[in-house]
Structure 1
Amino acid sequence: MATLNAIDLGIVIAYTLILFVIGFWSSRGQDEYASEYFLAGRKMGWLTIGASLFVTNISSEHLVGLASSGAQNGLVVGHFEWMAIIALLALGWFFAPLFLKAKIYTIPEFLEMRFNRPTRIYLTAVSIFAYVLTKIAITLFAGGLLLNAMLGWDIYTSALVMVVITGIYTIVGGLRAVMNTHVFQMGVLLAGSFILTTVGLNKIGGFGPLLAGLPDHYFDVIRSARDPHFPWTGIVFGAPILAVWYWCTDQYIVQRVLSAKDLEQARTATIFTGFLKLLPAGLMILPGMVAVVMFPGIKTDEVISLLFSGRFLPVGLRGIVLAGFLAALMSSLASVFNSTATLFTMDFYRLYDPQASERKLVLVGRLATTIIVITAILWIPLTRLFNQQVYLYLQSLQAYIAPPIAAVFLFGVFSNKINARGAFYALIAGGIFGALRLALEMALRARPLNLGALQWLVQINFLHFAILLFIFSSAVLFMVSWLSGEQKDQTTRTVFSFSFDANRALLSAGNLTQLVLSVFLVALIFGIYGLFF
């Protein structure tokens, strides 16, 4: 357990005060229009959007998971960071033109435009359920563990402080307050991570001793197809499915892009975030590998506490690193509070009361955010019942709901061979199949069972299961569309033309910088894989 002296404590207090100032300053004029409260007036620039995308993504599971996985497995977990870059480019080049042209508030709203209202309602309900059960619960649990390891606070106190501070400025300021605080939090997060990595490398003597002190497999990012955790087949074919769902179709992420002033700002933001996503492999995985060299025999769940200890960080730097960790935790909480409130207000309440005024929608949004914050507080006592196994279950739940949604969006945009009935049944059937895998996995881990023919379903790697679930959902999507006999709509021809026309217009106007930077990013990814192949 670490303690903070006056200097470190002062840094953390200063971080909190600056956060409040930015949040409340950003809340001015948020009472009049729903677009102001939920989408920051659709006036945000690329820097703010890009910073918000990055820190929304970097949460407690990143801080805990990447460092711990680095200590246990090495650089291989960086696959998920590098895959995210490709998905971000897909968001900027293919999905952002569609979403911005449609002028939607939520991603489920886009599904209604493409298919029908039941698909919208289903995705909204699943998203809210998943946010409360996974994103909020995981952040509170992992964040509580972090602050317990760093400061000795109990998990309840740690989670309560995070929820209350974050909830206040999110309720008042809406998305603009959330995103403006994210710019500040990005700087603090990167500074803290950079300090942690630099101090660690200096203490062991640089990269040479790191390479010499670790087994070769720590730097092997291409693993056997039989590897229990990171099979190359799962990485190549399964991870992109999860990445498309998360980066291109999840309200939690995409709402930031919906706030863009125009397509040029939105796409520049995704490219900027792509460059930022090159950093976690060095700034968040590497410290875990350094810890293995510094503390031989370290347990993976002790990595963060040892890195934050007085044996590792001197006075002053400990406060900056803690502020960086708090930035990651609170930025993700703010995003999930705001996105959940947006889904409830625009996809449930506005459908119930289509004549609601702009002011009333903002009021409902604030009330919804307040309820979600209270729900998070009520969640806190339950985190005492969590353990590492429950943490893994909650994370895996996201992986099991992603493939059906990814299938419906991808084929909904790029094919006119499917219809609303096929999309709805694919979402339902895929959701049931994913829930079956999760239930069997939990039952098997609780006690040894003979599942007979279903044993293989539980034992295959979750990335391989993601491939299977995507194929299953796609099959249901096309089969039901074909069997239903409904006339195929022509929406996708119009929808796809949005993307094509928008891209052509930007490039013909001379804006080739985005294309060059995108190609450069892809080249960097291939270069990284070539370096470690």
Structure 2
Amino acid sequence: MTAFVTFITVTLLVAIISWFKTRKHKITTSAGLFLANRNLSFTAVGCALFFTNISAAEFVGNSESVYLNNMTVMAWGVSSVFAMLIVSEFIIPIYLKGAMSTTPDFLESRYDPQTKKLVSYLFLIGYMVNLLPIVLYTGAVALNGLFHFSDIWHISHGNSIWILVWCIGLIGSLYSILGGLKAIVISDLVLGICMFTGALLLAYFGLSHVGNGNFQQGLHTILTSKTAHLNSIGTASDAVPFSTIFTGMILMNLFYWGTEQVIVQQALASSDLATSQKGIALACAGKLLGPLLFILPGIIAVHLYNHMENTTEVFSRVVADVSPPVLSGFIAAIIFGAAITSFSPGLNSASTLFVLNIYKPFKEKKGVRLTEKDLLRSSKRFEMFASLLAMFIAPLFIFSTDSFYTFMQKINAAFSIPIFTIMFIGFVTKKVPPIAAKAGLVFCFIGYVLTQMVFDTGIHFLHVLAILFVVTSALMLIVGRLYPMEKAYVAQNKSVVDLKPWKNRHWVNGLLLIVMILLFLLFSPLYFS
């Protein structure tokens, strides 16, 4: 009961703070709903980027993967720092220079409106059948593991997941529909502080539990026994082989941080380029704390449980078993908040893509002039539809048989690499034509589906992605060579925000990269064998 009361109290407190900070922020325009009027500070951008990326899937998936294998899963988060800094230096300036509200806006200016629309549809499908349902499902799994609702309500595990999915989905929908991006960002700031506090407390109580009440003994135990799980390098047979960092993983991270609308939208809401770059650096620092936040609970579980039937509940069980009730409730509120602040931006971004890239052009083509009020109304209706669809799909993930985090990344790859490839070629060339982008998109998507569902290549899916990226890029360049655009693409500066870069970014970025490398060296056979 104490844990549940704490959960409700913290959740309400975050909601009240968000309301108080945004009560004077009236949403009257699409820019206010989608981009918070482009006036976010660097701390707001950094926290929004980090917490939008952090859903219950990070807690659930990472802990499960470490428990079953080792720390190789940390490569997804830690190595993303390199991709984030590339995006900060080279890609975000392009978006801000063109005053773009969505990443497919670049495709319209670089290729043509049809390419923009095609990619917008792909994004929307990915959000509604993958991103949003996964956020809801993992949030439901984590909460059920913490509070054992299935036992309290005397229903099956599957039925409790259905109920919790709908609870999270409905509340997340209200956040997005009523508050827009501004309310989401304020929640991110508050939850960010709570999350780091909760992670430190969980580490203390978890290690004390392993050490039978002695923190130092617990730390000594996990550093000297079962050290195979402390290996971030691993072997070729691991779910995430280390070599994939240099092939498909870097591509997926570049896509995620550089072209994924739900992420990039947070950076595009900054007041200027320097603010955006500072925010990305702050988010990088958060990603480097990943081993403490998401990996340690799985390591603790290795020393507490010899066998678990439902490994998706590793994180929840550790929290419930090692934490005092108040901390359990506090962490449950963080998990719930993480689900909300990943689901809400996903809805907001899906709505941005639909309204600005599909609905508005369709209406204008018919000669209908839309007011800001029309756009806001259509946005909210679409968010209701998208959230309902996600809530129906989410419980079906209970039937997945693969390691959940790996399963999630495999699904993401089907949408991410085709989109990233045509974006990349658009960034680095000036005369590759629209037909090459369309052909590349179709070829890469079909190629990935065939290699994963029809033909058994025997090659890790991340290596397959790298091969498809190279082949698709070559195909687009050949088409560009044979049928180049008559007029080379020239980016326009719409002068909406100040494009002066952050002067201290180089030494800060260098420091972040050094810490990234040191983490891999620390958790390697050099220290643990």
* Contact 1:143–1:329 (CA under 8 A) maintained in structure 2: yes
After superposition, the C-alpha distances for 1:259-279 in whole angstroms (9 at most, x for unaligned) are 111111111000000001011
The answer (yes or no) to whether the contact 1:44–1:260 under 8 Å persists in 2 is yes
Contact (CA 8 Å) 1:192, 1:325: kept in 2 or not? Answer: no
Deviation of the 1:241 alpha carbon:
0.4
Q: 1:178 to 1:360 in 2, by over 3 A?
A: same
Are residues 1:362 and 2:376 paired? yes
**AA partner of residue 427 (structure 2):** V
Q: In 1, distance between residues paired with 2:179 and 2:319?
A: 33
How far apart are 1:27 and its partner, in Å?
5.8
Amino acid at match of 2:82: I
The answer to whether the 8 Å contact 2:110/2:489 transfers is no
* Cα contact 2:11–2:337 (8 A) shared by 1: no
| Change over 3 Å in CA distance of 1:113–1:417 after alignment to 2 | closer
Aligned to 2:396: 383
Rounded to whole Å, the distance in 1 between the matches of 2:390 and 2:287 is 28
Distance in 2 between residues matched to 1:40 and 1:498, nearest whole Å? 19
Query: Counterpart of 1:141?
Result: 137
Classify the secondary structure of the residue corresponding to 2:245: helix
Q: Cα offset for 1:294?
A: 2.4
- Tell me what 1:130 maps to: 126
Equivalent position to 2:59, from 36, 60, 63: 63
The answer as to whether partners of 2:111 and 2:434 remain within 8 angstroms in 1 is yes
Q: Which structure 2 residues correspond to residues 297-446 of structure 1 after superposition, within 5 A?
A: 297-298=307-308, 300-309=311-320, 311-354=321-364, 355-379=369-393, 382-383=395-396, 386-389=399-402, 393-440=407-454
CA spacing shift, 1:479–1:389, aligned 2, 3 Å: same
Aligned to 1:178: 184
**Distance between the aligned counterparts of 2:35 and 2:498, measured in 1?**
21
Amino acid in the other structure paired with 1:462: F
SS in 2 for 1:230: coil
1:18 maps to 2:18 = no
Alignment match, 1:443: none
Residue 213 of structure 1 is aligned with which of 216, 225, 249?
225
Question: 2:511 maps to what in 1?
Answer: 520
> So what's the TM-score if we normalise by structure 1?
0.88
SS, match of residue 388 in structure 1: coil
Aligned residue in 1 for 2:214: none
In 1, the alpha carbon distance for the partners of 2:489 and 2:273 equals 24
Is this contact kept in 2: 1:193–1:324, CA < 8 A? no
Residue by residue, what CA displacement relative to the aligned partner does 1:106-147 show, whole Å, maximum 9, x if unpaired?
111111011111110111000000011111121222222222
Aligned partners of 1:53, 1:401: CA distance in 2, in Å? 20
Partners of 1:16 and 1:173 lie apart in 2 by 16
d(CA) in 1 for partners of 2:512, 2:408: 32
Give CA-to-partner distance per residue, 1:328-386, whole Å, 9 cap, x none.
21111111111111111110111123431222212221222222222233335x53763
Tell me if structure 2 keeps the 8 A contact 1:44–1:261: yes
Query: Which residue identity lines up with residue 106 of structure 2 in the other structure?
Result: F
d(CA) in 2 for partners of 1:169, 1:51: 17
- Choose from 19, 30, 33 the match for 1:34: 30
Equivalent AA in structure 2 for residue 294 of structure 1: L
After superposing the two structures, state which structure 1 stretch, 199-208 or 159-168, moved more.
199-208
Instruction: Kindly provide the amino acid, as one letter, of the partner of residue 445 in structure 2.
Output: G
Q: Deviations over 1:483-532 (max 9, x none)?
A: 335436232xx47x999x987x43xxxx5322221111112122223333
Distance 1:27 1:227 in 2: 53
Structure-to-structure mapping, 1:215-294, within 5 angstroms:
215=227, 217-224=228-235, 226-294=236-304
| Partner SS, residue 488 of structure 2 | coil
Percent identity reads: 24
Equivalent pair of 2:85/2:509 in contact (CA under 8 Å):
yes
| Cross-structure match for 2:89 | 93
Contact 1:144–1:155 (CA under 8 A) maintained in structure 2: yes
Moved more, 105-114 or 184-193: 184-193
CA contact (8 A) 2:19 2:183 kept: yes
* Aligned residue-pair number: 500
Whole-angstrom distance in 2 between the partners of 1:9 and 1:128: 35
Q: Structure 1: which 5+ runs fail to align?
A: 441-453
1:201 has 2:207 as partner: yes
Change (3 A) 1:318 1:455: closer
What secondary structure sits across from 1:413 in the alignment? helix
Judged with a 3 Å threshold, the aligned counterparts in structure 2 of structure 1 residues 11 and 410 are, in CA distance, closer, same or farther, namely same
In the other structure, the counterpart of 2:155 is none
Matched residue SS, 2:69:
helix
What is the RMSD of the two structures over their aligned residues, measured on CA atoms?
A: 2.4
**Cα distance between partner residues in 2 of 1:498 and 1:348:** 22
How far 1:192 sits from its partner (Å)?
A: 2.3
* Native 8 Å contact 1:30 1:37 kept in 2: no
Contact 1:192 1:322 in 2 (8 A): no
Q: TM-score, normalised by structure 2?
A: 0.89
Match of 2:459 in 1: 460
Residues in 2 aligned to 1:485 and 1:395: alpha-carbon distance in whole angstroms: 35
Distance change in 2, residues 1:375/1:484 (3 Å):
same
